[in-house]
């Protein structure tokens, strides 16, 4: 499956605006965590950066979407799609 096709599937799993908002909070928290670790030179903690978003994202799937997160089946593609959705949300291409 090409990424464009996968992204359409991914967005189908993210129809609820509150789920998307929780993903944005998670991505923003990830960015803040990375900046903090770099500024304090806690480089080893950067290993945890990819995991910061999951409590936020999975809460959105559990409470609002009532579906399984895409990361359970395609973790790499899901992570990339999550950042694309974050970009699209910031640019106003999807409902906030």
At a CB cut-off of 8 Å and minimum separation 6, what does 52 contact? 26, 29, 30, 33
pLDDT band, residue 86 (cuts 50/70/90)? very high
With a pLDDT cut of 70, the percent of the chain lying above it is: 100
Cα–Cα distance, 47 to 60 (Å, whole number): 24
Q: Catalogue the long-range contacts made by 73-80 (C-beta closer than 8 Å, 24 or more residues apart).
A: 74/6, 77/3, 77/6, 77/10, 78/10, 79/50, 80/3
Give the mean pLDDT of 1-26: 96
Model-level pTM? Answer: 0.92
């Amino acid at each position: 499956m090409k990424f464009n096709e996968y992204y359409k599937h991914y967005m189908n799993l993210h129809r609820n605006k509150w789920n998307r908002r929780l993903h944005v909070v998670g991505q923003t928290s990830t960015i803040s965590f990375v900046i903090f670790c770099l500024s304090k030179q806690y480089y080893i903690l950067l290993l945890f950066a990819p995991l910061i978003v999951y409590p936020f994202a999975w809460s959105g799937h559990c409470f609002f979407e009532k579906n399984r997160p895409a990361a359970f089946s395609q973790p790499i593609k899901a992570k990339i799609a999550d950042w694309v959705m974050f970009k699209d949300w910031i640019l106003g291409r999807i409902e906030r």
